[in-house]
Amino acid sequence: MDQIVFFTDILLPALQKGLIITLQLILLAAPFGFVLGVGVAVGRQYGGPVTRVLCKVLVYFVKGCPLLLLLFILYFGLPSIGIVFSAFTASVIGFILCNGAYNSEYIRGAMLSVKDGQMIAAQALGMTRLQAVRTIVLPQAIRRALPGLSNEWIYLIKYSSLAYMITVIELSGSGKLVATKYFTYTETFVAVGVVYLFLVTLTTLAVNAIEKKYAVPGMIRG
Partner 1 sequence: MELIPLLLDWFPYLLRGIGVTFGLVLSSLALGVIIGLPMALGQVYGSRLVRVPIGIYVWFFRGLPILVLLFLFYFGIFPGLGFDLSAFVVGAVVLGLRGAAYQSQIFRGAIQSVGEGQMVAARSLGMDRLCAVRSIILPQSMRIALPGWSNEYPNILTDSAVCYAIGVAELLTRASQIVAQTYVTMPIYLAAAGIFILMNYGGMKVLHMIERKIAIPGFGSGAM
Closer by beta carbon to partner 1, 183 or else 218: 183
**CA–CA separation, 161 and 131 (whole Å):** 39
Minimum distance from CB of 201 to partner 1 (Å)? 7
Query: Which of 59, 161, 166, 169 is in the footprint of partner 1 by CB under 8 A?
Result: 161
95 touches partner 1 (CB under 8 A) = no
159 touches partner 1 (CB under 8 A) = yes
16 touches partner 1 (CB under 8 A) = no
64 touches partner 1 (CB under 8 A) = yes
Closer by beta carbon to partner 1, 42 or else 191: 191
164 touches partner 1 (CB under 8 A) = yes
60 touches partner 1 (CB under 8 A) = yes
171, 14 Cβ separation under 8 angstroms: no
Query: Which of 21, 142, 175, 178 is in the footprint of partner 1 by CB under 8 A?
Result: 175
Query: Which of 26, 111, 169, 179 is in the footprint of partner 1 by CB under 8 A?
Result: 179
Residue 74 Cα to chain centre, angstroms = 17
Query: Which of 13, 61, 181, 221 is in the footprint of partner 1 by CB under 8 A?
Result: 61
**CA–CA separation, 130 and 117 (whole Å):** 16
| Residue among 141, 163, 160, 152 nearest 204 (CA) | 152
Closer by beta carbon to partner 1, 150 or else 161: 161
**CA–CA separation, 63 and 129 (whole Å):** 29
Give the list of residues 6+ apart from residue 157 with CB closer than 8 angstroms, or none: 22, 26, 196, 199, 200, 203
Closer by beta carbon to partner 1, 46 or else 189: 189
Closer by beta carbon to partner 1, 127 or else 200: 200
Please report, as a single letter, which amino acid is at residue 80. S
Query: Which of 12, 20, 53, 69 is in the footprint of partner 1 by CB under 8 A?
Result: 69
Output the DSSP codes for 29-75: HHHHHHHHHHHHHHHHHHS-HHHHHHHHHHHHHHHHS-HHHHHHIII
**CA–CA separation, 36 and 41 (whole Å):** 8
Minimum distance from CB of 180 to partner 1 (Å)? 8
Name the packing angle between helices 185-214 and 12-46 (round to 10°): 40
Q: Which residues bind partner 1 (CB under 8 A)?
A: 60-61, 63-70, 72-73, 76-81, 157-162, 164-165, 172, 175-176, 179, 185-190, 192-193, 196-197, 200-201
